[in-house]
């Protein structure tokens, strides 16, 4: 079983839709969970990070963590064409290396 | 806004040649990293560096790879004898001393093409 699994997509939605991106993980040592956005041929850009189970909201973005199920999600409300990118989930035990998912490619169609 | 800077943006080399990828981390950061991403695959950890020594490395980071902080601002990744499978986008990242690894800041990457 892979440490981090993420559906690669691509995911295509109309502008204004709610987007749900998900990852599962197997390593119980992971305690910190991040979502990165990556535009084509660019470096990952940190969107959100969270430590605990539950929801964390930042503008149109909500990160959700369920440690009991080893499942994390990122919701994007009122999606915009500028949200079109690849979204990477990532996790770490804290001071160890960050382990990334394969990324989900999102396209928001005007 | 401070950012991690990487040069060159694209490096083409012949198999067996040495390459040096350069990075200027954010100025008050003390922890430095190299990750790589082979086309179509996930971002993979290579090495972490703190206080002038390697603190963690992956199985990818074999004897052909080395890192160095030659001065107070640069952080380099050297590949001594490049192989075809080293072709990838290489990302440098850094973080503040107080932050855990959830607050990594990445550069835009160097695309390495080994011919």
Span B63-102, pLDDT tens digits: 999 999 988 789 999 999 999 999 999 999 998 877 666 6
Q: How confident is the model at residue A53 (pLDDT cuts 50, 70, 90)?
A: confident
Q: Which residues have a Cβ under 8 Å from the Cβ of B59 and sit 6 or more positions away?
A: none
Q: What average pLDDT does chain B have?
A: 92
**Tokens found for residue B115:** 């011919």
CB B7 within 8 A of CB B25: no
Q: What's the gap in Å between the CA of B113 and the closest CA on chain A?
A: 14
Cis bond before residue B8 (omega within 30° of 0): yes
Share of residues in chain B with pLDDT > 70 (%)? 96
Least confident of A11-20, A46-55, A99-108, B11-20: A46-55
Residue B32 β-bridge partners: B49, B94
Residue B5 has φ and ψ, to the nearest 5°, of -110, 130
Determine, for residues A46 and B104 on separate chains, whether the beta-carbon distance falls below 8 Å: yes
Tell which B residues from 52 to 81 touch A, by Cβ distance under 8 Å.
Answer: 56, 58
Asked if the model's pLDDT at residue A81 lies above 90, the reply is yes
Q: How confident is the model at residue B33 (pLDDT cuts 50, 70, 90)?
A: very high
Q: Per DSSP, which regions of chain A are E strands?
A: 4-6, 11-14, 19-25, 32-38, 45-50, 54-58, 61-66, 71-76, 85-92, 99-100, 104-109
**Cβ-based neighbour number of residue B96 at 10 Å:** 14
For residue B102, what pLDDT is reported?
Answer: 64
Determine, for residues B109 and A101 on separate chains, whether the beta-carbon distance falls below 8 Å: no
On the CB side of B50, CA atoms within 13 Å amount to 15
Quote helix, strand, coil % in chain B, to nearest 5: 5, 50, 45
Share of residues in chain A with pLDDT > 90 (%)? 74
Determine, for residues B48 and A97 on separate chains, whether the beta-carbon distance falls below 8 Å: yes
A82: helix, strand or coil: helix
What average pLDDT does this structure show over B59-64?
Answer: 95
d(CA A83, CA A37): 9
* B96 in contact with chain A, both atoms CB, cutoff 8 A: no
* B46 in contact with chain A, both atoms CB, cutoff 8 A: no
For residue B32, what pLDDT is reported?
Answer: 94
CB A57 within 8 A of CB A65: no
Residue A83 has φ and ψ, to the nearest 5°, of -80, -10
Q: What's the gap in Å between the CA of A51 and the closest CA on chain B?
A: 9
Closest CB from A43, A94, A98 relative to B109: A43
What average pLDDT does this structure show over A30-59?
Answer: 90
Determine, for residues B109 and A42 on separate chains, whether the beta-carbon distance falls below 8 Å: yes
């Amino acid at each position: 079983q892979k440490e981090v699994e993420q559906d690669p997509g691509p995911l295509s939605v109309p502008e204004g839709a709610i987007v749900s991106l998900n990852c599962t993980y197997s390593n119980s040592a992971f305690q910190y969970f991040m979502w990165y956005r990556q535009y084509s041929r660019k470096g990952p850009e940190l969107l959100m990070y969270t430590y605990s189970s539950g929801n964390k909201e930042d503008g149109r973005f909500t990160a959700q963590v369920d440690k009991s199920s080893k499942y994390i999600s990122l919701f994007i409300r009122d999606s915009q064409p500028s949200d079109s990118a690849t979204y990477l989930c990532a996790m770490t035990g804290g001071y160890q290396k960050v382990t990334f998912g394969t990324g989900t490619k999102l396209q928001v169609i005007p | 806004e401070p950012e991690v800077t990487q040069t060159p943006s694209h490096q083409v080399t012949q198999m067996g040649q040495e390459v040096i990828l350069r990075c200027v981390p954010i100025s008050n950061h003390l922890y430095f990293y190299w990750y790589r991403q082979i086309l179509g695959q996930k971002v993979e950890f290579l090495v972490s560096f703190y206080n002038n020594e390697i603190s963690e490395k992956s199985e990818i980071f074999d004897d052909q790879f080395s890192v160095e902080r030659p001065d107070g601002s640069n952080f380099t990744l050297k590949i001594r004898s490049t192989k075809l499978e080293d072709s990838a986008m290489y990302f440098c990242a850094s973080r503040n001393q107080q932050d855990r690894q959830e607050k990594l800041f990445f550069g835009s990457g160097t695309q390495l093409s080994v011919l």
